[in-house]
Amino acid sequence: MRHLLSAADLTRAEAIEILDTAETMAQTQSREIKKLPPLRGMTVVNLFFEDSTRTRISFEAAAKRLSADVINFSAKGSSVSKGESLKDTAQTLAAMGADAVVIRHPASGAPHRLATAGWIDTPVINAGDGMHQHPTQALLDAFTMRRRRHGAATTGTDLAGARVVIVGDVLHSRVARSNVDLLATLGADVVLVAPPTLLPVGAEVWPCALSYDLDATIAEHTPDAIMMLRVQRERMSSAGGGFFPSPMEYSRRYGLDGARLRALPDHAIVMHPGPMNRGLEISAQAADSARSTVVEQVSNGVAVRMAVLYLLLAGGRSSERNAQ
Amino acid sequence: MSTSYLIRGAALLGGERSDLLLADGVIAAAGPDAAAQATADAITLDGEGLVALPGLVDLHTHLREPGREDAETVYSGTRAAALGGFTCVHAMANTDPVADTAGVVEQVWRLGNEAGWAEVRPVGAVTVGLDGEHLAELGAMADSAARVRVFSDDGKCVWDPVLMRRALEYVKAFDGVIAQHAQEPRLTEGALMHEGVVSAELGLTGWPAVAEEAVIARDVLLAEHVGSRIHICHLSTAGSVDIVRWAKARGIDVTAEVTPHHLILTDESVRGYDPQFKVNPPLRTAADVAAVRAGLADGTIDIVATDHAPHAAQDKDCEFAAAAFGMTGLETALSVVAETMVNDDANDFGWADVARVMSTAPARIGRVAGQGGALRVGEPANLTLVDPDARWTVDPARLRTASDNTPFAGRELPTRVVATFWRGAATVLDGEPQPDGAR
Ligand SMILES: [Zn+2]
Residue A82 has pLDDT above 60, yes or no: no
Q: Is residue B307 among the annotated active site residues? A: yes
Decide the pairing of beta strands A163-167 and A189-193. Answer: parallel
> Is A112 part of the contact surface with chain B (CB cutoff 8 Å)?
yes
> Is B273 part of the contact surface with chain A (CB cutoff 8 Å)?
yes
Phi/psi region, residue A231 (left: phi>0; alpha: psi -120 to 50; beta: rest), is beta
Q: B387 burial class (0-12, 13-18, 19+ CB within 10 angstroms)?
A: middle
Between CA A60 and CA B139 the distance in angstroms is 65
Query: What average pLDDT does chain B have?
Result: 97
Decide the pairing of beta strands B177-180 and B150-151. Answer: parallel
Q: Residue ranges of the domains in chain B? A: 5-52+378-390+409-433, 54-365
User: Which pLDDT tens digit goes with each residue over B193-243?
Assistant: 999 999 999 999 999 999 999 999 999 999 999 999 999 999 999 999 999
CA of B152 from ligand 1 middle (Å) equals: 9
Which of A85, A108, A205 comes nearest B321 by C-beta? A108
User: Which residues in chain A have their CB less than 8 angstroms from residue B201's CB?
Assistant: 8, 177, 202, 206
> Is B410 part of the contact surface with chain A (CB cutoff 8 Å)?
no
CA of B301 from ligand 1 middle (Å) equals: 16
User: Which residues in chain B have their CB less than 8 angstroms from residue A132's CB?
Assistant: 202-204
Span B331-360, average pLDDT: 96
Q: Do B54-365 and B5-52+378-390+409-433 have the same topology in CATH?
A: no
pTM: 0.94
User: Which pLDDT tens digit goes with each residue over A224-247?
Assistant: 999 999 998 888 787 888 999 999
User: Which band of pLDDT confidence, cut at 50, 70 and 90, is reported for residue A74?
Assistant: confident
Q: Which CATH architecture has domain B5-52+378-390+409-433?
A: Roll (2.30)
pLDDT above 90 as % of chain B: 97
Pick A7-134+298-322's CATH classification: 3.30.2020.30, 3.40.50.1370, 1.10.3470.10, 3.30.70.20: 3.40.50.1370
> Is A78 part of the contact surface with chain B (CB cutoff 8 Å)?
no
Look at residue A80 in the predicted model and tell me its pLDDT: 53
- Which is catalytic among the residues B288, B307, B315, B353? B307
User: Which residues in chain B have their CB less than 8 angstroms from residue A108's CB?
Assistant: 202-204, 273, 320-321
C-alpha gyration radius of chain B: 21
Between CA B230 and CA B210 the distance in angstroms is 19
Q: Do A108 and B322 touch (CB under 8 A)?
A: no
Residue A7 has pLDDT above 90, yes or no: yes
Nearest to B351 by CA among B378, B379, B382, B375: B375
**Mapping DSSP to helix (H, G, I), strand (E, B) and coil, where does residue A252 land?**
helix
CA of B232 from ligand 1 middle (Å) equals: 10
Cβ atoms within 10 Å of A26's Cβ, excluding its own: 19
Span A210-222, average pLDDT: 98
**Cβ–Cβ under 8 Å, residues B88 and B358:** no
Look at residue A323 in the predicted model and tell me its pLDDT: 40
Domain B54-365 classified CATH 3.20.20.140?
yes
CA closest to B314 among chain A residues = A85
> Is B280 part of the contact surface with chain A (CB cutoff 8 Å)?
no
CA of B326 from ligand 1 middle (Å) equals: 9
> Is B320 part of the contact surface with chain A (CB cutoff 8 Å)?
yes
User: Which residues in chain B have their CB less than 8 angstroms from residue A130's CB?
Assistant: 203-204, 321
Between CA B311 and CA B323 the distance in angstroms is 10
Which of A87, A109, A116 comes nearest B202 by C-beta? A109
Between CA A13 and CA A149 the distance in angstroms is 19
**Cβ–Cβ under 8 Å, residues A132 and B205:** no
Between CA A146 and CA A183 the distance in angstroms is 11
> Is B286 part of the contact surface with chain A (CB cutoff 8 Å)?
no
Q: Say how many CB pairs under 8 Å bridge A and B.
A: 77
**Cβ–Cβ under 8 Å, residues B162 and B132:** no
CA of B35 from ligand 1 middle (Å) equals: 46
User: Which pLDDT tens digit goes with each residue over B68-107?
Assistant: 999 999 999 999 999 999 999 999 999 999 999 999 999 9
**Cβ–Cβ under 8 Å, residues A24 and A268:** no
CA of B238 from ligand 1 middle (Å) equals: 18
Between CA B336 and CA B358 the distance in angstroms is 12
User: Which band of pLDDT confidence, cut at 50, 70 and 90, is reported for residue A322?
Assistant: very low
> Is B43 part of the contact surface with chain A (CB cutoff 8 Å)?
no
Which of A105, A131, A201 comes nearest B319 by C-beta? A105
Contacts of B34 (CB under 8 A, 6+ apart): B6, B7, B18, B19, B20, B21, B28
Q: Nearest CA of chain A to the CA of B406: how many Å? A: 16
Question: In this predicted structure, which of A247-256, A309-318, B27-36 has the lowest mean pLDDT?
Answer: A309-318
> Is A91 part of the contact surface with chain B (CB cutoff 8 Å)?
no
Q: Do B317 and A117 touch (CB under 8 A)?
A: yes
What ipTM did this prediction achieve? 0.92
CA of B94 from ligand 1 middle (Å) equals: 10
User: Which pLDDT tens digit goes with each residue over B100-139?
Assistant: 999 999 999 999 999 999 999 999 999 999 999 999 999 9
Q: Do B320 and A201 touch (CB under 8 A)?
A: no
Q: Which CATH superfamily is domain A135-293 in?
A: Aspartate/ornithine carbamoyltransferase (3.40.50.1370)
Q: Residue ranges of the domains in chain A? A: 7-134+298-322, 135-293
Any bridge partners for residue B56, and if so which?
Answer: B86
Look at residue A83 in the predicted model and tell me its pLDDT: 62
User: Which pLDDT tens digit goes with each residue over A167-196?
Assistant: 999 999 999 999 999 999 999 999 999 999
CA closest to A181 among chain B residues = B201
Nearest to B358 by CA among B22, B57, B29, B126: B57
User: Which residues in chain B have their CB less than 8 angstroms from residue A174's CB?
Assistant: 203
